[in-house]
Amino acid sequence: MLASAQTEFHPSPLTQLSEEEKMFQATVRRFAREQIGPHVREMDEAGVFRKDIIRQFFELGLMGIEIPEEFGGQGGTFFQAVMAVEELSAVDPSAGVIVDVQNTIVNNAILRWANAEQKQRYLPRLAADTVACYALSEAGSGSDAFALATQAQDQGDHFLLNGRKLWITNAGEAGLFLLFANANPSAGYRGITAFLVERDFPGFQVGKKEDKLGIRASSTCELILDNCRVPRENAMGEVGKGYKIAIETLNEGRIAIGSQMIGLARGALDHAIAYAKQRKQFGKTIGEFQGVQFQLAKMATEVEAARLLVYNAARLRDAGQPFVTEAAMAKYFSSEVAEKVASKAIEVMGGVGVTRDYPVEKLYRDAKIGRIYEGTSNMQLLTIAKKLLER
């Protein structure tokens, strides 16, 4: 396996980190390289993420970064969650998305929308040992997220949920599901309601696991709800206001997908640089040829530009400033850059780049999903254009 270099750039004001952030970043980076790195190929080929590594996520506090200390979390920032996703993804984007979904979508939604009893019941578990996932997508509702068909029938002290969810990240490992169903289909999207569904609720089942092109170690499964009985106290937020929860959590999640993509791109660039320093042709290392130098320079520039967009969106979110446009830009651009840089890394490495003995082949496969999940590139462009025209 090729020893990776580490890209270093002079920090801009947006990428400058506090001492606490630097220590956090260094800890996650070291953990990713030492504890995850040796198992990446094995997990990718098996399509299974190691349970012992997930346990270490919890032990390090990476699954409850923003959860307050009173609930057993780290009491950290959204920006720290974004940094964690980036560092993990530079080694394995499958690891990055597990931490991403837990922190930037599920934990954040519960912190903002759950009542006091729900927070007391679930936040300590999410910080300590329970993987969570976000269940919105269905066969007929992808980009048109509010076309979901899963229904919730009000039975007084409980709801009966019926339907199927598809492409649910973390479902294979999850014990808690933030799941959306329509409690009043005649009201359209204004009937959508968020529910906290536990894995052992009667009528709930995790179905088929998808066999994917990339991020193979991250589980993506269908969920089957057959008269799934959910206690009324597990409805999160107001009945019929689940669409607001979905919109706001996805806006934040897109920043973290951006961080997954810049981590991936940085990892691919590092491998390409290391190879260019070692591989010799015509009596020189290929890094001495201007054609290769220019390719590496372009890759590095685009990675840094994507990082600035992602970090800016994350800083805005932590500052309580509007960030929807910036989140869409970060997600759109970073996913484009990740795919391009991973492809260029393969070209720099030549024939070995397409073999599984070297890591860039996997990163190239992993990159494709970035332009699809949590809002396709076209949906991000629509968001950006809409916001521009509203000015």
pLDDT tens readout for residues 244-279: 999 999 999 999 999 999 999 999 999 999 999 999
**pLDDT tens figures, 334-379:** 999 999 999 999 999 999 999 999 999 999 999 999 999 999 999 9
Q: Per-residue confidence at 91, pLDDT binned at 50, 70, 90?
A: very high
Residue 26 CB: number of other CB atoms within 10 A? 12
The reported pLDDT for the residue numbered 7 is: 61
Residue 145 — very low, low, confident or very high, per pLDDT cuts 50/70/90?
A: confident
Per domain, the residue ranges of the chain are: 19-131, 133-240, 244-390
- For 133-240, the fitting CATH number among 3.20.20.300, 2.40.110.10, 3.90.1200.10, 1.10.3720.10 is 2.40.110.10
247 C-beta neighbours (distance < 10 Å), count: 13
Q: Is the pLDDT of residue 53 over 80?
A: yes
- pLDDT tens digits for range 194-225: 999 999 999 999 999 999 999 999 999 999 99
Q: Do domains 133-240 and 244-390 have the same CATH topology?
A: no
Where is pLDDT greater, at 34 or 11? 34
Rounded distance between C-alpha atoms, residue 205 and residue 217, angstroms: 21
Return the CATH number of the domain spanning residue range 244-390.
1.20.140.10
β pairing state of 192-198 and 158-169: unpaired
Phi, psi of 282 (to 5 degrees): 55, 35
Note the pLDDT tens digit of each residue in 286-312: 999 999 999 999 999 999 999 999 999
Confidence band for 12, pLDDT divided at 50, 70 and 90: low
Fold of 19-131: Butyryl-Coa Dehydrogenase, subunit A; domain 1 (1.10.540)
Instruction: Bin 181: left if φ > 0, else alpha if -120 < ψ < 50, else beta.
Output: beta
| Contact predicate 106/130, CB 8 Å | no
Please give the pLDDT value at position 177: 98
Residue 11, pLDDT > 60, answer no
Q: Average pLDDT, stretch 100-111?
A: 98
Q: What pTM, to 2 d.p., does this model score?
A: 0.95
Pick from 362, 391, 332: which is nearest to 268 by CA?
362
Q: What is the pLDDT of residue 290?
A: 98
Residues labelled catalytic:
374
